[in-house]
Structures are given as structure tokens and as C-alpha cells.
A = this chain, B = another copy of it.
Amino acid sequence: MHRLHLIKPDGRSLWLYSRSPLPASLTAPASGSQPASPDSHLRWHPLRGEWVAYASHRQHRTFLPPPEWNPLAPMTDPAVPTELPAGPWEAAVFENLFPTLSGRAGPPPPSIVETRPGHGACEVVVFTQDPSTSLGRLPLDRVALVLDVWADRCEELGRRDDVAYVFPFENRGVEVGVTLHHPHGQIYAYPFVPPVAARELEQQAAFHEREGRGLLQDLLERELDDGERRVIYRGRHAVALVPVCARYPYEVWIAPLRAAPALPDLTAEERLDVARALKTVLLKYDALWQRPFPYILVVHQAPTDGRPHPEAHVHIEIYPAYRMPGRLKYLAGSEVGAGVFTADTLPEEKARELQAVEVSLD
């Protein structure tokens, strides 16, 4: 993988990626507006024991582009500024113009609860130059490139002192609030280990302490031994399945079979097989009802505190928005207020539906 690091006129970083060498002559375009001075800060939620992020500069975005304007397209007309240059790049990452978390965040305002600056990073990951495709429809090697890009950013962000946890994710579809349809995801680099990751790591650490092996590895082995009832993809190095304890209908996890703690720890072969698993699942989702299948895709991995995390096992979790065609899965009282997910369908049934969908990776 080749990478070119550029600095935009407004000071933000841009990284271009390709399997082929990138011309050093490429330059980063200016964006359409000046980035606000980030006033992001974090406040401690005493009852939940978690940080909440506030970034009120985000509501003062002054740049109002026409609806057909695509800031993630390569810039071909100087009159229509975008975030990315024309050129032979295959994937790109840049710092969000209005970040929720930023290394440049100033001191927090005084408060009656503990506060801290909204340090960290918010980056946009552009999966392709083609605005009309999707992550799952990229060629296999290009899906693998996205995983390589994530790993590269995780490694670099993880080295920063103000970053404790790197979190790549993709929100796909208007149903989950996406307004920009060019295939892209995001990376949040938090200055703390976020609550969901912390909880998973706690459970994993307790199991590892007791059993001397990984909790997710143990669960994956049970899944594979259970007649593969919920398995959607099984390769040499990776597996995709509807977990036995799925909280969302059609929820899928994708994991390397080996308990690698984080994306940068995966070998090229493992990453390729994870890409194959991911592409298989995303194509099955879209084929299931012959329409784009909205979801939230997240990567869970080890924190970047420099300590070893033998308990961590990197994996992707995908939470689909629908429970049946046209019927959203709402998060209501029980899910949001108590934290108890309730499902009308069994993971085995949803897995069978996905298993029955034929897709080709070629």
C-alpha cells in the first residue's frame, strides 16, 4: 500500500492511499470554508459514569453547499471545492472540518461536573472515488485496502498521547442519519476507552484471567462446533456469523479466527480473509431484499495505551436498521432506558435467511 500525506491550506491533514505509487505532485485542495476553532469538551455523567462529548461549533457550519455537491468527490472544477484532489488515489482519509474530537480543542468551560478538553480525532474515510457504489460492492482487493487504511490510521492515531482508543465505523443509509451518499466511513479516536469497549474488555479480561484464552475465540469455536447454524462465512482465517446473542435482527460479527488484539496486528492474509467475510455479508445484506441495506458497522479492538491486551480480539460488529422490509428496529424504552434488547426473532432464523442468499465475490 502506498500513502501520501498532504496538508490542506487550512492545516488539516489528508492521506491518500493506493496499491500503486502515488504521484508526489498531488496537492490537497482547500475546503469551502475555514474550520471553526474547535470548542469541543467532555463532561462527566456522574450517574452513568461516562463522558459525553459536546461540540457546539458544529451547529455553526457556515458552508451551505448545493444539494448535488459532493465534498467527497475528487475536485475537478476550482469553482466547486471538495475535500479531495483529482488523481489516481483509491482511498483517502482527512480530518473532519467540524470535528467532535480534536487535538486542537481548547480548555473546557467551567462546570458543576468534571470536564476535560474534547481531545482526540475525528477523521473521514473515503472508500473509493466512485460516488455510486458501496463498501460491499468494491472489488475484494479494494475492501482489503479499506481494512489496510483503517489499520494504518489506527496505528498512527494510537501513538498519540491524547488517544486511548481508535474506533473505525461506517453509518450507512438515511435510516441511520447519513446525508452524504458517497461511500465513506469515519474514525473517532477517543481520549478514553469508551464505555461499550471498556465493558467488552472487562468481560474479556476476566475470562482470559480465568481460562487463559480469549472469550471471543471461545465463543467463535462454540459457534463453529454448533453445526455452524448461525455461520454466514467461514474462511481459512476469518468467520462471519449472526451471534447466538444477537441484539439486532440480522446483526453480524466478523472476526479473524486468531485472537489478534487490533487491526494492525492482522497479517495480510488474515486481513484479506476478513475482507472476504465482510464483502460476503454486505452483498448478502443488499441481495436479501434487493435494496441497499442500511446499517451501523463498528470495529472493536484493543485500546492504544501501549500495554499488551491479550484479552482483546479485534472484530467487526454490524447492526442493521431494519427487522423486516420497511420495518425499522426501534430502540425504545427497554433498549435505551434499561439497556435490555428485546427481539421478536431468533438469531438462528435471521442467520438462515442470510445463509440462503447466494452471492458471488468475483
Contacts and interface: CB of A to CB of B under 8 A. Distances in A.
Given A176-B332, A337-B319, A340-B190, A49 B199 contact: yes
Nearest to A39: B346
Interface of chain A, main secondary structure: mixed
Contacts of A346: 54, 56
A222 interface: yes
B177 A344 contact: no
Given A47-B215, A176-B330, A203-B47, A343 B52 contact: yes
Contacts of A46: 203, 207, 215, 218-219, 245
Interface in A314-362: 317, 319, 328, 330-334, 336-346, 349
Nearest to A175: B330
Interface residues of A, number: 77
Contact of A100 (B203, B317, B342): B342
A104 B184 CA distance: 48
A340 B194 contact: yes
B194 A49 contact: no
Contacts of A171: 330, 332-333
Interface in A41-85: 43-56, 58-59
8 contacts: A47-B216, A48-B203, A54-B345, A56-B344, A111-B244, A167-B334, A296-B333, A319-B337
Interface of A: 43-56, 58-59, 100, 111-113, 165, 167, 169-171, 176-177, 186, 188, 190, 194-197, 199-200, 202-204, 207, 215-216, 218-219, 222-223, 225-226, 243-247, 296-298, 300, 317, 319, 328, 330-334, 336-346, 349
